[in-house]
Amino acid sequence: MRGCWASSGAAAGSMSKITAMRSLKPTAKCLVRSISVLVLLSVVPTQLWAQDPAPPPGSPAIFKSAADLASVLQKATVNAGGMSSSNVTTTDQYRVSIVKRDKAAGALAHQGNTELLYIVEGAGKMVTGGKLVAAANGKPASIVDGVEKPFTKGDIFIVPAGSPHWFAVVDAPVTYLEVRWVAPK
């Protein structure tokens, strides 16, 4: 093996590229080849794992029964923050998940996505708006100057794209349907 990769034959039409590569030092050849592979590896996965497009206008509705949603939630695994989330459906325009929180969590904001949260069960307090404040020492982020609202089963929050929101208090485990969509421009 010469350089960082073995040299291979090439078609007659690419002689200028081969000549140019041969004139490079072995380290530069390795760098050029490595960058080429990295570019290829960064582009190919996005093509392989691209999300399905949203159904076109006039298509039948996507239907998920209560049993489907319960099944999706049962498959979810709880993370260290006491939250489990499971995908219901995803396209390039929206994502629908069912989420369960056993305890309060840190504040966050989703750039580019408006979010609807429909409380299926549970109760607590949500803080929205204001300014997102990162905490020190590994503690969760919080919000200053936000609006705190108590919530219970049947309530909804519509959180604008980029707006901080925070399940600041969870009085009883909360299950909610989360719908995120691309914010219109």
pLDDT tens per residue, range 49-90: 456 788 888 888 888 888 888 888 777 767 767 888 888 888
Report H helices in the chain.
15-23, 26-48, 66-75
Q: Which carries the bigger pLDDT value, residue 79 or residue 114?
A: 114
Task: Write down the pLDDT at residue 4.
Answer: 46
Q: What's the domain range around 31?
A: 12-48
Say if residue 98's pLDDT is above 70.
yes
Q: Which carries the bigger pLDDT value, residue 52 or residue 31?
A: 52
Task: Write down the pLDDT at residue 63.
Answer: 86
The answer to whether residues 153 and 99 belong to one domain is yes
The answer to whether residues 38 and 102 belong to one domain is no
* pLDDT confidence band for 24 (50 / 70 / 90): low
- C-alpha to C-alpha distance for 97 and 19, rounded to whole angstroms: 54
Say if residue 48's pLDDT is above 90.
no
Q: What are phi and psi of 83, to 5 degrees?
A: -125, 140
Question: Is 98 within a domain?
Answer: yes
* pLDDT confidence band for 161 (50 / 70 / 90): very high
Is 170:122 a contact under the CB 8 Å cutoff? Answer: yes
Reported pTM = 0.67
The answer to whether residues 93 and 178 belong to one domain is yes
* pLDDT confidence band for 166 (50 / 70 / 90): very high
CATH number of the domain that residue 98 is part of: 2.60.120.10
Based on C-alpha coordinates, what's the Rg of the chain? 25
Task: Write down the pLDDT at residue 25.
Answer: 58
The answer to whether residues 21 and 83 belong to one domain is no
Contacts of 183 (CB under 8 A, 6+ apart): 112, 113, 114, 160, 161
